[in-house]
Amino acid sequence: MEVLDKQQIQSLQEKLLRLQTELKEHLDISKQAAGVVTLDQTAVGRVSRMDAMQQQSMAKSTREKASNKLKKVRAALQAIADKDYGYCRKCDELIAFKRLQAQPEAQLCIHCQDTVDRQQ
Ligand SMILES: [Zn+2]
């Protein structure tokens, strides 16, 4: 059975740790930013209020994406610790190293991801 070698896993682990830090920082900063936006009707006009609401909802969806990604990054780091990293959650095949390099938090191989994407 094909496996990732130690060096490959180590380089992916470093990427994951970096991602984890970046995502945490992003979530911290955007939390502060989200708190600053006020929708005071007297202070701003209708257009800028809509602007602010749009920005707030965009910030919220970016935050949700970041927090989902952070969950996957943590799961991947846990999988490395459990020596269960790099396998597709669906078909149990080894995920291609190139794919993991681009997306170290990936939980599905490219084929299964394709199927999922098409179903959505
Ligand atoms: Zn698969």
Determine, yes or no, domain membership for 77.
yes
Ligand 1 centroid–CA 114 distance in Å is: 9
Residue 53 or 114, more confident: 114
Torsion region of 86: left, alpha or beta (phi above 0 gives left; psi -120 to 50 gives alpha): left
CA atoms within 13 A on the CB side of 66: 19
Q: What is the mean pLDDT of residues 59-82?
A: 95
**pLDDT score of 92:** 94
Determine, yes or no, domain membership for 66.
yes
Ligand 1 centroid–CA 112 distance in Å is: 4
H or E element that contains 31: helix 6-36
Ligand 1 centroid–CA 109 distance in Å is: 4
- CA-CA distance, 85 to 30, in Å (whole number)? 30
**pLDDT score of 43:** 56
pLDDT digits (tens, 9 = 90+) for 30-61: 777 666 555 555 555 667 878 888 888 888 89
Structurally, the chain folds into a number of domains equal to 1
Determine, yes or no, domain membership for 16.
yes
Determine, yes or no, domain membership for 55.
yes
* pLDDT over 70, % of the chain: 87
Ligand 1 centroid–CA 83 distance in Å is: 18
Domain that holds residue 75: 6-85
**pLDDT score of 42:** 55
Ligand 1 centroid–CA 115 distance in Å is: 9
Does the global pTM surpass 0.85? Answer: no
